[in-house]
Copies of this chain bind each other. A is one copy, B any other.
Amino acid sequence: MRLAVIGLGRMGANISRRLMRGGHEVVAFDRDAAKVAELAADGAVGAASLEEAVAKLEPPRIFWVMLPAGAPTEETVAALSGLAETGDVVIDGGNSFFKDDIRRHRECAERGVSYVDVGTSGGVWGLERGYCLMIGGDKAAVHLLDPIFNTLAPGYGTIARNANRTGSDDRAERGYIHAGPAGAGHFVKMVHNGIEYGLMQAYAEGFDVLKGRSSEALPEDERFTLNLPDIAEVWRRGSVISSWLLDLCALELARDNHLERFSGRVADSGEGRWTIDAAMEEAVPINVLSAALFARYRSRTDDRFGDRLLSAMRFGFGGHVEMPQ
């Protein structure tokens, strides 16, 4: 199929490349002309403006928007919705908040334009491994886009088939699903990222406990200096906690077992927060997912006012002195 990809950052560029490798034609646009030129060198049709991208497509036109969530996506979808004609399809492949999708879908529908939200997981490895796609939107539009999703997704690959699956829809086994109406794609992706935070923090805490075992405050025979790279590696084989995230831990620990090139000031994007919001709307308790998010907040501050208040109370009732030296 022929489609435009709007936004040629790491994700947008790689998605374009995987689509072209799969036989699709990509009209590529980015505000940064250098990125357009780079992708044109790889075989894409470059476009110097949204209007030019529109002009280089045939109806029904397909636009894959791959921009940061928030204003960049919002403005581009609005612009495209103005340029598009009845029957055209706008895909938001970024990390938008699912309630924005619901609204945009409604606004696009009023103009006869389809809006499809696609949560995309796979990161920098997706070009080779394929992308896991979680799709929300109207059935007809999702059906129209099937060849695109099929190309982007990993396919069966070498993952063991699930012996308990029956039925004829094997899209999930090929790496993409139509999760539900508008917003459902990004909702599922949001929860995916919420889980991701929890998994990551579970490993982080476990390795912290391993690392902490060498503390000289411990009795000598209960003190171990453990080989973290070997532990990460061995857990990849036959253990209950093997995972792709653990593979990544093993990769980095093998490079430097002190991880000294990392700051440990850990960013978070909207999905972690939105997952907690969604859970609160549903009255679902999520102590692990929230603790994982809060650990990131804490990692970014050296000194909290609340901790000083604890010291102040301890001084107040017990005369305990916790003052800077």
User: How many A residues have CB within 8 A of the partner chain?
Assistant: 159
Q: Mark A238-261, 1 if CB is under 8 A from B, else 0.
A: 111111111111111111000111
Q: Pick the contact of A226 from B10, B188, B259, B313 — CB < 8 Å?
A: B188
* Residue A79, interface by CB 8 Å: no
Do B239 and A132 touch (CB < 8 A)?
yes
Apart from A153-B237, A180-B224: 19 A-B pairs, beta carbons within 8 A: A102-B221, A165-B229, A166-B254, A172-B233, A192-B240, A194-B205, A195-B202, A198-B198, A199-B243, A209-B289, A248-B316, A249-B316, A251-B316, A252-B312, A259-B312, A264-B307, A285-B298, A290-B290, A291-B291
Return the chain B residue nearest A233 by Cβ.
B172
**Contact assessment for B233 and A286 in the assembled complex, using a CB-CB cutoff below 8 Å:** no
- What B residues does A218 contact at CB under 8 A? 281-282
User: Known interface pairs A176-B234, A237-B154. Does A317 touch B203 (Cβ–Cβ under 8 Å)?
Assistant: no
Say which one of A19-27, A45-53, A56-64, A118-126 lies at the interface with B: A118-126
Report B-chain residues with C-beta under 8 Å of the C-beta of A169.
230
B residues within 8 A CB of A188? 210, 226, 231
A43 at the interface (CB under 8 A from B): no
Cα A141 to Cα B305 with chains together (Å): 32
Contact partners of A102 in chain B: CB under 8 A: 221-222
Q: Mark A178-210, 1 if CB is under 8 A from B, else 0.
A: 011111100110011011111111111111111
B180, B295, B296, B318: the one within 8 Å of A225 (CB): B180
Q: Nearest 3 pairs between A and B by C-beta?
A: A198-B202, A243-B243, A248-B316
A34 at the A/B interface (Cβ < 8 Å)? no
Give 8 A-B contacts (CB < 8 Å), ordered by A residue. A102-B221, A180-B226, A191-B210, A195-B205, A199-B202, A208-B284, A243-B244, A245-B317
A297 to B282 Cα, complex, angstroms? 9
Evaluate contact between A163 and B251: CB separation under 8 angstroms: yes
Give the CA-CA distance A215 to B125 in the complex, in Å.
Answer: 36
A 106-142 binary contact with B (CB < 8 Å = 1; else 0): 0000000000000001111110011111100000000
Q: Is A168 in contact with chain B by the CB < 8 A criterion? A: no
Selecting from A68-76, A81-89, A269-277, the interface stretch reads A269-277
Partner of A124, one of B160, B224, B297, B317: B317
A157 within 8 A of B: yes
B-contact bits for A300-325, CB 8 A (1 contact / 0 none): 10111111111111111111101110
User: How near does chain B come to A267, taking the closest CB pair, in angstroms?
Assistant: 7
> Is the pair A239, B204 in contact by a Cβ cutoff of 8 Å?
no
